Amino acid sequence: MISVEGLIAKYGERVVLHGLDFQVGEGELVGLLGPNGSGKTTLLHCLSRVVRLHTGSVAVAGRELSTYPTQELAQVEASVPQRLEISFPFKCIEVVLMGRYPHQHAFGSDSDEDLAVAMEAMRLTDTLDLAQRRITEISGGEAQRVIIARALAQEAKIMLLDEATANLDVAHKMQMFDLFLEKNKQGATFLCAMHDLNLASLYCQRLIFLKQGRIRVDGPTMETFTEENLSNIYETEVRIIPHPDSGAPQAMFVPGESKAQGA
Protein backbone atom coordinates (compact mmCIF):
# COMPACT_ATOMS: atom_id res chain seq x y z
CA MET A 1 0.00 0.00 0.00
CA ILE A 2 2.96 2.31 0.62
CA SER A 3 6.25 2.14 -1.26
CA VAL A 4 9.06 4.56 -0.46
CA GLU A 5 12.31 4.71 -2.43
CA GLY A 6 15.26 7.01 -1.82
CA LEU A 7 13.18 9.52 0.12
CA ILE A 8 15.13 12.63 1.10
CA ALA A 9 13.31 15.49 2.85
CA LYS A 10 14.74 18.86 3.79
CA TYR A 11 13.72 21.96 5.71
CA GLY A 12 15.70 24.68 3.99
CA GLU A 13 19.23 23.34 3.78
CA ARG A 14 18.81 20.92 6.69
CA VAL A 15 18.30 17.31 5.64
CA VAL A 16 15.72 15.62 7.89
CA LEU A 17 15.24 12.29 6.14
CA HIS A 18 18.20 10.59 4.48
CA GLY A 19 17.33 8.25 1.61
CA LEU A 20 14.61 6.11 3.19
CA ASP A 21 13.57 2.86 1.50
CA PHE A 22 10.71 0.73 2.82
CA GLN A 23 7.32 -0.71 1.97
CA VAL A 24 4.13 -1.21 3.97
CA GLY A 25 1.96 -4.02 2.71
CA GLU A 26 -1.81 -4.05 2.54
CA GLY A 27 -3.33 -4.89 5.91
CA GLU A 28 -0.19 -4.25 7.97
CA LEU A 29 -0.23 -2.41 11.29
CA VAL A 30 3.21 -0.84 11.56
CA GLY A 31 4.68 1.17 14.42
CA LEU A 32 7.02 4.04 13.51
CA LEU A 33 9.32 4.63 16.47
CA GLY A 34 12.39 6.62 17.38
CA PRO A 35 13.71 9.45 19.58
CA ASN A 36 12.54 13.05 19.34
CA GLY A 37 13.73 14.65 16.13
CA SER A 38 14.27 11.35 14.34
CA GLY A 39 11.94 12.31 11.47
CA LYS A 40 8.74 10.40 12.25
CA THR A 41 6.35 13.33 11.79
CA THR A 42 8.21 14.55 8.72
CA LEU A 43 7.91 11.12 7.14
CA LEU A 44 4.15 11.05 7.72
CA HIS A 45 3.92 14.57 6.31
CA CYS A 46 5.75 13.42 3.19
CA LEU A 47 3.35 10.49 2.80
CA SER A 48 0.37 12.85 3.05
CA ARG A 49 1.94 15.55 0.83
CA VAL A 50 2.17 18.14 3.60
CA VAL A 51 5.94 18.20 3.05
CA ARG A 52 7.40 17.95 -0.45
CA LEU A 53 10.02 15.34 -1.21
CA HIS A 54 13.45 16.72 -2.04
CA THR A 55 14.33 13.57 -3.96
CA GLY A 56 13.01 10.02 -4.11
CA SER A 57 9.56 8.63 -4.77
CA VAL A 58 6.46 7.54 -2.88
CA ALA A 59 3.73 5.31 -4.29
CA VAL A 60 0.41 4.82 -2.50
CA ALA A 61 -1.95 1.98 -3.42
CA GLY A 62 0.17 1.29 -6.50
CA ARG A 63 0.16 4.86 -7.78
CA GLU A 64 2.69 7.68 -7.62
CA LEU A 65 1.70 9.98 -4.75
CA SER A 66 2.19 13.16 -6.77
CA THR A 67 -0.40 12.12 -9.36
CA TYR A 68 -3.37 12.03 -6.97
CA PRO A 69 -5.86 14.89 -7.01
CA THR A 70 -6.39 16.08 -3.42
CA GLN A 71 -9.90 14.70 -3.03
CA GLU A 72 -8.95 11.34 -4.51
CA LEU A 73 -5.92 11.04 -2.21
CA ALA A 74 -8.21 11.70 0.76
CA GLN A 75 -10.25 8.65 -0.27
CA VAL A 76 -7.10 6.54 0.07
CA GLU A 77 -5.33 8.14 3.05
CA ALA A 78 -6.61 9.54 6.34
CA SER A 79 -4.34 11.30 8.83
CA VAL A 80 -4.58 11.96 12.55
CA PRO A 81 -2.18 14.70 13.69
CA GLN A 82 -0.55 14.79 17.11
CA ARG A 83 -2.05 18.20 17.92
CA LEU A 84 -5.49 19.64 17.32
CA GLU A 85 -5.41 22.66 15.00
CA ILE A 86 -9.09 23.70 14.95
CA SER A 87 -9.73 27.12 16.49
CA PHE A 88 -13.20 27.83 15.04
CA PRO A 89 -16.01 26.67 17.37
CA PHE A 90 -17.46 23.96 15.13
CA LYS A 91 -19.79 21.44 16.69
CA CYS A 92 -18.05 18.09 17.09
CA ILE A 93 -20.43 16.39 14.67
CA GLU A 94 -19.51 19.04 12.09
CA VAL A 95 -15.82 18.23 12.60
CA VAL A 96 -16.42 14.51 12.07
CA LEU A 97 -18.52 15.21 8.97
CA MET A 98 -15.49 16.98 7.49
CA GLY A 99 -14.11 13.47 7.04
CA ARG A 100 -16.85 12.81 4.49
CA TYR A 101 -15.52 15.52 2.14
CA PRO A 102 -13.66 13.05 -0.14
CA HIS A 103 -16.92 11.25 -0.90
CA GLN A 104 -19.00 14.32 -1.74
CA HIS A 105 -19.50 16.21 -4.99
CA ALA A 106 -18.47 19.86 -5.20
CA PHE A 107 -20.67 22.02 -2.98
CA GLY A 108 -22.62 18.93 -1.98
CA SER A 109 -24.42 18.82 1.35
CA ASP A 110 -24.14 16.04 3.90
CA SER A 111 -26.28 13.06 2.96
CA ASP A 112 -28.06 10.65 5.25
CA GLU A 113 -25.26 8.19 4.55
CA ASP A 114 -22.63 10.78 5.53
CA LEU A 115 -24.42 11.42 8.81
CA ALA A 116 -24.78 7.69 9.50
CA VAL A 117 -21.07 7.07 8.87
CA ALA A 118 -20.09 10.05 11.05
CA MET A 119 -22.33 8.97 13.91
CA GLU A 120 -20.94 5.43 13.76
CA ALA A 121 -17.38 6.82 13.89
CA MET A 122 -18.34 8.84 16.97
CA ARG A 123 -19.89 5.78 18.57
CA LEU A 124 -16.72 3.78 17.99
CA THR A 125 -14.57 6.53 19.53
CA ASP A 126 -16.90 7.07 22.49
CA THR A 127 -17.70 10.65 21.44
CA LEU A 128 -21.44 10.49 20.65
CA ASP A 129 -22.23 12.50 23.76
CA LEU A 130 -20.01 15.30 22.38
CA ALA A 131 -21.79 15.58 19.02
CA GLN A 132 -23.53 18.89 19.71
CA ARG A 133 -20.77 20.42 21.82
CA ARG A 134 -18.20 22.89 20.43
CA ILE A 135 -14.78 21.46 19.64
CA THR A 136 -13.25 24.48 21.40
CA GLU A 137 -15.14 23.73 24.63
CA ILE A 138 -14.06 20.17 25.32
CA SER A 139 -10.87 18.69 26.75
CA GLY A 140 -7.81 17.96 24.67
CA GLY A 141 -8.30 14.21 25.01
CA GLU A 142 -11.95 14.46 24.00
CA ALA A 143 -11.03 16.61 21.01
CA GLN A 144 -8.39 14.10 19.94
CA ARG A 145 -10.97 11.32 19.91
CA VAL A 146 -13.21 13.53 17.75
CA ILE A 147 -10.30 13.95 15.31
CA ILE A 148 -9.84 10.18 15.25
CA ALA A 149 -13.57 9.85 14.50
CA ARG A 150 -13.14 12.31 11.62
CA ALA A 151 -10.38 10.14 10.16
CA LEU A 152 -12.48 7.00 10.52
CA ALA A 153 -15.37 8.73 8.76
CA GLN A 154 -13.15 9.10 5.68
CA GLU A 155 -13.29 5.32 5.24
CA ALA A 156 -9.79 5.42 3.77
CA LYS A 157 -7.68 2.34 3.09
CA ILE A 158 -4.61 3.80 4.83
CA MET A 159 -4.44 5.45 8.25
CA LEU A 160 -1.43 7.64 9.07
CA LEU A 161 -1.37 8.27 12.82
CA ASP A 162 1.02 10.78 14.38
CA GLU A 163 0.99 10.18 18.14
CA ALA A 164 -2.77 9.86 17.76
CA THR A 165 -3.35 8.68 21.33
CA ALA A 166 -0.51 10.42 23.17
CA ASN A 167 -2.74 12.74 25.22
CA LEU A 168 -5.47 10.22 25.99
CA ASP A 169 -6.00 8.57 29.36
CA VAL A 170 -5.02 4.93 29.66
CA ALA A 171 -8.52 3.51 29.17
CA HIS A 172 -9.21 5.53 26.00
CA LYS A 173 -5.70 4.88 24.68
CA MET A 174 -6.29 1.14 24.89
CA GLN A 175 -9.82 1.54 23.51
CA MET A 176 -8.51 3.41 20.45
CA PHE A 177 -5.83 0.83 19.73
CA ASP A 178 -8.33 -1.98 20.15
CA LEU A 179 -10.39 -0.11 17.55
CA PHE A 180 -7.40 0.33 15.23
CA LEU A 181 -6.63 -3.37 15.54
CA GLU A 182 -10.22 -4.26 14.65
CA LYS A 183 -10.13 -1.95 11.61
CA ASN A 184 -6.81 -3.51 10.67
CA LYS A 185 -8.35 -6.98 10.77
CA GLN A 186 -11.03 -5.64 8.41
CA GLY A 187 -8.33 -4.67 5.89
CA ALA A 188 -7.18 -1.15 6.79
CA THR A 189 -3.45 -0.43 6.69
CA PHE A 190 -1.90 1.55 9.57
CA LEU A 191 1.38 3.42 9.94
CA CYS A 192 1.54 4.79 13.49
CA ALA A 193 4.22 7.19 14.74
CA MET A 194 4.51 6.47 18.46
CA HIS A 195 6.62 7.17 21.54
CA ASP A 196 4.94 4.55 23.73
CA LEU A 197 7.17 1.55 23.06
CA ASN A 198 5.15 -0.91 25.10
CA LEU A 199 1.90 0.06 23.44
CA ALA A 200 3.57 -0.40 20.05
CA SER A 201 4.77 -3.85 21.05
CA LEU A 202 1.28 -4.86 22.19
CA TYR A 203 -0.49 -3.85 18.98
CA CYS A 204 1.93 -3.52 16.05
CA GLN A 205 2.96 -6.48 13.93
CA ARG A 206 6.07 -4.72 12.66
CA LEU A 207 8.25 -1.88 13.91
CA ILE A 208 10.32 0.66 11.97
CA PHE A 209 12.82 2.55 14.11
CA LEU A 210 14.15 5.90 12.88
CA LYS A 211 17.15 7.72 14.31
CA GLN A 212 18.65 10.91 12.93
CA GLY A 213 16.51 10.63 9.82
CA ARG A 214 17.58 7.11 8.90
CA ILE A 215 15.97 3.71 9.31
CA ARG A 216 18.02 1.85 11.89
CA VAL A 217 15.83 -1.22 12.44
CA ASP A 218 12.85 -2.61 10.51
CA GLY A 219 11.15 -5.94 11.08
CA PRO A 220 8.62 -8.04 13.00
CA THR A 221 8.00 -6.83 16.54
CA MET A 222 9.21 -10.00 18.25
CA GLU A 223 12.52 -9.77 16.37
CA THR A 224 13.17 -6.02 16.60
CA PHE A 225 11.96 -5.23 20.12
CA THR A 226 15.19 -6.27 21.84
CA GLU A 227 17.35 -4.88 24.62
CA GLU A 228 20.21 -4.30 22.21
CA ASN A 229 18.14 -2.43 19.63
CA LEU A 230 16.26 -0.27 22.11
CA SER A 231 19.38 0.56 24.14
CA ASN A 232 21.23 1.63 21.00
CA ILE A 233 18.40 3.64 19.50
CA TYR A 234 17.31 5.42 22.68
CA GLU A 235 20.79 5.61 24.25
CA THR A 236 19.70 4.30 27.61
CA GLU A 237 19.81 0.87 29.21
CA VAL A 238 16.69 -1.22 28.61
CA ARG A 239 15.50 -4.49 30.06
CA ILE A 240 12.87 -6.59 28.27
CA ILE A 241 10.25 -8.67 30.05
CA PRO A 242 7.27 -10.55 28.57
CA HIS A 243 3.76 -9.21 29.07
CA PRO A 244 2.05 -11.47 31.62
CA ASP A 245 -1.00 -12.05 29.40
CA SER A 246 0.12 -11.84 25.76
CA GLY A 247 3.84 -12.57 26.10
CA ALA A 248 4.64 -9.48 23.98
CA PRO A 249 8.00 -7.94 24.90
CA GLN A 250 7.77 -4.93 27.21
CA ALA A 251 10.54 -2.41 27.88
CA MET A 252 11.75 -1.44 31.35
CA PHE A 253 14.15 1.50 31.42
CA VAL A 254 17.00 1.61 33.92
CA PRO A 255 17.17 4.89 35.91
CA GLY A 256 20.43 6.79 35.71
CA GLU A 257 21.69 4.96 32.62
CA SER A 258 20.86 7.46 29.87
CA LYS A 259 23.67 8.09 27.40
CA ALA A 260 21.75 10.64 25.34
CA GLN A 261 23.62 13.76 24.33
CA GLY A 262 23.43 16.36 27.08
CA ALA A 263 22.45 13.82 29.74
- Residue pair 202/173 in contact (Cβ under 8 Å)? The answer is no
Q: Distance (Å, rounded) from C-alpha 255 to C-alpha 236?
A: 9
> What band does 262 get if pLDDT is binned at 50, 70 and 90?
very low
Q: Residue 1, class by beta-carbon neighbours within 10 Å (0-12 exposed, 13-18 middle, 19+ buried)?
A: buried
pTM of the predicted structure, to 2 decimals: 0.93
> What band does 261 get if pLDDT is binned at 50, 70 and 90?
low
β strands within 119-242, DSSP E: 158-162, 189-193, 206-211, 214-220, 236-242
Average pLDDT, the chain: 94
Q: Residue 216, class by beta-carbon neighbours within 10 Å (0-12 exposed, 13-18 middle, 19+ buried)?
A: middle
The residues facing 66 across adjacent strands are none
pLDDT at 167 over 50: yes
Tell me how far apart the terminal alpha carbons of the chain are, to the nearest angstrom. 40
Look up residue 106 and give its amino acid.
Answer: A
- Tell me the per-residue pLDDT of 94-122, one tens digit each, with 9 for 90 and over: 999 999 999 887 666 788 899 999 999 99
- Tell me the per-residue pLDDT of 177-205, one tens digit each, with 9 for 90 and over: 999 999 999 999 999 999 999 999 999 99
